[in-house]
Every structure is written in C-alpha cells, then in structure tokens.
Structure 1
Amino acid sequence: MIGVLIVLCSLHTGFAVTHTGKGCVTGSTGVRDLPEFVAVLMLDEETGAYFDSKTRELQIRLEWALNKVNDSQKYIHYFNVLISSAIPDLMNALQFAMSLYGHSGGIHTLQIMLGCEVSEDRKAGEFMKFGYDAEDFISLDISTLAWIAHSPQAGIICADWNNHIETAQFWKGILENECFALLKKLVEYDREILERKVPPEVSLLRRDPSSPVTCLATGFFPEGIVVSWQKDGEDLHEDVELLETLSNEDGTFQTRSRLTVSPADVKEHNYTCVVDHSSLEKNIIKPVTEEEIKTNQDPENSLPVGIIIAVVLAVLLVAIAAFAC
C-alpha cells in the first residue's frame, strides 16, 4: 500500500530538460497495515525523503542530498519533531472531509500535493491540489488565485477559502518563489546525476529449457527503454510479455521481457532480444543461444525509490494546518 501511495504521488517528467519537485502528504483510516500518515518528497523520479507515522523517522534516500546538509542528524531530528506535530492536524482534516461526505467509517484517504517544475532554468509551472479517496477534491488555479471545487462537498470549503484571497496569495508565493528557488538549486547541485545517461547491462535468463527466456536490462538511466524480440530478423510480438520498469536502489532502472519459445524452435530459428536506450550509440542485440542464456532465477524486484530533500516538508505542513482550520 505504501508503494501504491508513492506511485499516486509520482509525477512523470516528459522531457529530460524538465525537472519536477513535488511533495505529497497522505492521511488514511481503516487500513490496518498502512501508517495513518505518510509524507514523501520527490525530485523527478528520485526518492529524496520519506516519513511515516509508524517509524516517525525522516529517511533521506538521496545520499548526495544528505551530503549537502551540514550537521544532518540535527537537521533530521528537527524535522522528525516538526512533521510528527502535524499528524493530528492532518487526521483532523481527514475526519472533517469524511463528515462532508457523510462517511463515519471505512477506508478513506486525504492527500495534499504541491510542487513546481523548471525547464532549462526557467519556471515551467506550479500546482497545488487536494484529493479525497483518490479523487480530485480541491485545486488552486495559480493564474486567478481561485480555489476550484471538484465535488459539491469541496464547494463548502472553497466558498470560505475564496473569501480570503490572502491564503491563495500565500501559496502562489510559495510555489512561484520558494519552490522554484529550491528546485533550481537542487538541479544545479546534481545536474550530472539527474541528466546522466547510463547504458543498460543486458542478460538472457532461463530457469530450465522448458521455461520462458527472460531478457533482463538493468542499471540504465534515464528510465525510458525499449526491449523487443526478433525472429529470423523480423519483429516478434506473439508469446512476448513485457514487465514493468522498476527502480534499483542506486537510482538506476531495470526491466524485463519474457519470450515463450520451445527448445526446438530455438534450434530451428534465430531469436534475438533487442534493447534500445538513449545512452546507446547502437542497439544491444542478444542472440537466444545456449552460450548467451544463463540458467537462473528471475531477479528479485528491487525496492522502488523516487522523492526531494526534506526542507519542503515544512511547506506541506502549512497546507495541512490551513486545511484543518
């Protein structure tokens, strides 16, 4: 479930020159194994920080970001206290949202998301929105400073907030100034890491002669990659299963594609796995032969990673307090 929440908080960056900083706080109720409070922060697809109400310990996932902070343990302790103090506010806000919908129990979530984008050192956009039960609830129109209700229940809150324009002005300033300045600084700190190109390592794996052949591409960056199969030089789409792309713990990615083929067909035809990635001058081509195939188990899924450094959490907590009022 925590992984699902992080995916919901993710915002895909369409171009390598565009960078996104995003924070997301989620409050939930009715899910036994899920922390009632989860805060995550993201820089593009990289995990920078994570906090939940079970551990109450801020985890900075990007080592380079941690190295930029002087006296990091004092810094982490400060945010542990600050974020923990906001948990009751978010849970009260969730209870208030539930009351607007007439919900007295069950599984429910409230999310607060905000962030900004830069493209080639210029502002590329800002956003702030609230979600209830994975549906749009309230969003801020930065250009008009109007709070937009996405449900009749949200209209009750927006009517009040739109009578106090200073709240929207405050958030516009945060998103257009503080968020942009911080994101630009982070990108400058680690532009080489964020915009690096790392080629994949490609292997063919199979448990036994009767099992599908797995083409594993791992250790590549950025995320976009194409893994395909050919039979006798022609593109092959039947009996092919492409699995999802996962994050490795070092910030690179891995993906797999499986080909179901009999040992007899492998001997009779020429099968190849073709990998295309932006880091490669030419495609990697692996022939499906006994010499290339390694008899092995499919690799364990790496833990997904992806978030921004913890200083933006303080901004999120102001949003929580504003909603709870």
Structure 2
Amino acid sequence: MDTIVSALLSLLLLLGPAVPQETQGGPYSLSFFYTGLSRPSDGFPSFQATAYLNDQDFFHYDSETGKAIPRYPWSQMEGIEDWEKESKLQKAREDIFMVTLKDIMEYYKDKEGSHTFQGMFGCELQNNKNSGAFWRYAYDGRNFIEFNKEIPAWVPQDPAALNTKKKWEAEEVYVQRAKAYLEEECPVMLQRYLEYGKTYLDRQGIHLLPTSYSSAPH
C-alpha cells in the first residue's frame, strides 16, 4: 500500500505546472471529483472522474472509455494538456481508487449490495493568491477521511479510516507532498489553465466567470 500512496501523490505532482502569468480577480477554482462503484450498472461505470474549472466541466474520464476527454471549449484548444498522458494518469488513479474501496469493504465485510467511494480535491484562487483548498473522501455517502493541511495530517471520520490513515501516513514525505499539492501545485496549475485559455476564450467571446463554488463542501 505504501507504493500505492506514493504513486497517487506522484501522479498528482506529475501534472506539474508551467510558469504562469498573473491571473487577477476571482475566485477561480480547479476541482476534481471521483466516484467508484463496487457494482457498476448501465450508465454508471465502475469509476469516473470529472475535473472542473469553476463550475464548467474541464474534462471527463471513466473506466469504460479509458480516456480523459476534454469538454468544450477546452477541447478546441491545442496544447493545453497532453490528453493521452492524462488518460494514463487517470487510469492509474482508477486502479488506486478501486483498491481503497475494496479495502474499506473488507473492513466492514460489505459483501452484499453496491457500495460507493467518492473523493474530491482542489483549490481556489482569489486575486492571484491561494484562498482555499480541500481534499476529502466519503464512503456510501458518509464522510470517511479528509486532509487537514494546517496540521498537516489525514483526519479519520469513520472507523475504517483509521487503517487508511496509517497506510497513507506510513512515511512523512507522503503527508508533506499532499500539503504541497494543495498549497503550491494546484494553485499554479489553475493559473496555468486560466492563462492558457484566456486568449482563446476571449477570441470566441466566451468568458470564464468567477465561480460561486465553495472551497469547503460538506
């Protein structure tokens, strides 16, 4: 499991930022939402991930297509992201995510019915400064575990999450990387996406308005 945790954090950091220009105003947000199902059904794959820039879909990935597919208008921009590389990253995250779901089900001996594991993480910018960040998970609709970057540590909110906390904090470097992602990497990625798309969006008469999205959902 140490290898899995290391891989997850490495994948997050592999999205590495380019040097951004300043983005004023806001708030603007970059957020990722993951859902894993123990028993997928028609129209609901075993795993899906959606990224948002503010309240607009940025790209979507699911276990059936195995591809990260950018949404309009981001799909019209060449070079904003290497989508083949992004697809591989999301596939690796899918594998990690589903292993965690299996671990929780084994802890509770949940062999009957369908069970859901959800995750969300992201950051927010206000006047070119990091103004908020979050990283949390839920199991079957109940709060499971969340990262507190001020401590920093993973804070269990479910009995099974105590085991998850131990695994994810096996080495201090994993905690520090999670903190660095929320406070440094994510905001710079958000600036990069905003600046990269600004020229195209302005030319097309499309405006990415400041978001009403809250950085602290429950």
- TM category, shorter: 0.7 to 0.9
| Whole-angstrom CA distance in 1 between matches of 2:97 and 2:74 | 30
Tell me which residue corresponds to 1:248: none
Aligned residue identity for 2:105: M
Is the contact between residue 58 and residue 74 of structure 2 (CA under 8 Å) also seen in structure 1? no
- Residues 115 and 86 (structure 1 numbering): CA distance in 2 closer, same or farther, change over 3 Å? closer
Q: 2:104 matched to which residue of 1?
A: 97
Residue 155 of structure 1 and its aligned partner are, at CA, apart by 1.6
SS at match of 1:194: coil
Taking only aligned residues, the RMSD between alpha carbons, in angstroms, comes to 2.4
Q: Match for residue 138 of structure 2? A: 131
Matching residue within 27, 46, 51 for 1:41:
51
What do residues 119-149 of structure 1 show as CA deviations (whole Å, max 9, x unaligned)?
1111101111111112210101100112101
Gaps of 5+ in 1: 1-15, 197-221, 224-325
Residue 23 of structure 1: CA displacement? 0.9
1:184 alignment partner in structure 2: 191
Query: Aligned letter for 2:144?
Result: F
In structure 2, give the amino acid aligned to 1:69. G
**What is the aligned counterpart of 1:18 among 21, 27, 30?**
27
- Tell me which residue corresponds to 2:6: none
Bigger strand share: 1
Deviation of 1:163 (Å): 5.0
- Identity of matched residues, %: 26
| Structure number with bigger Rg | 1
Does the Cα contact within 8 Å between 1:145 and 1:165 map onto a contact in 2? no
Greater shift, 133-142 or 54-63, is seen at 54-63
State the 1:117 CA deviation. Answer: 0.5
Per the normalisation by structure 2, the TM-score is: 0.73
Give the partner amino acid of 1:122: K
In the TM superposition, 1:1-325 aligns within 5 A as 17-33=26-42, 34-64=44-74, 66-69=76-79, 75-162=82-169, 164-190=171-197, 193-195=207-209
SS at match of 1:42: strand
Distance 1:68 1:118 in 2: 24
The answer to whether the 8 A contact 1:50-1:61 is kept is: yes
AA aligned opposite 1:139 = E
3-state SS of the aligned residue for 1:173?
helix
Aligned-residue offset at 1:25: 1.9
One-letter amino acid matched to 1:113? M
Distance change in 2, residues 1:65/1:171 (3 Å): farther
Structure possessing the higher relative contact order (Cα contacts under 8 Å, 6 or more residues apart)? 2
TM-score in terms of structure 1 length: 0.50
Q: Is the 8 A contact 2:138 2:145 kept in 1?
A: yes
Q: Which aligned segments of 4 or more residues in structure 1 are displaced greater than 6 angstroms?
A: none
Q: Contact (CA 8 Å) 2:49, 2:60: kept in 1 or not?
A: yes
Moved more, 154-163 or 141-150: 154-163
- Distance change in 2, residues 1:35/1:166 (3 Å): same
Q: What is the CA–CA distance in structure 2 between the aligned matches of 1:141 and 1:77, rounded to whole Å?
A: 32
3-state SS of the aligned residue for 1:181?
Answer: helix
Question: Secondary structure of 1:30's partner?
Answer: coil
Partners of 1:156 and 1:112 lie apart in 2 by 17
Rounded to whole Å, the distance in 2 between the matches of 1:90 and 1:117 is: 24
Moved more, 44-53 or 87-96: 87-96
Counterpart of 1:313? none
Q: Indicate the residue corresponding to 1:285 in structure 2.
A: none
What runs of 5+ residues in structure 2 fail to find an aligned partner?
1-24, 213-218
Tell me how far 1:66 sits from its aligned partner: 4.4
Question: How many Å separate the matches in 1 of 2:70 and 2:183?
Answer: 25
Q: How far 1:162 sits from its partner (Å)?
A: 4.1
Counterpart of 1:126 in structure 2: which amino acid?
A
In structure 2, C-alpha distance between the alignment counterparts of 1:143 and 1:85, rounded to whole Å: 28
Question: How far 1:65 moved relative to its partner?
Answer: 5.9
Aligned partner of residue 161 in structure 2, secondary structure: helix
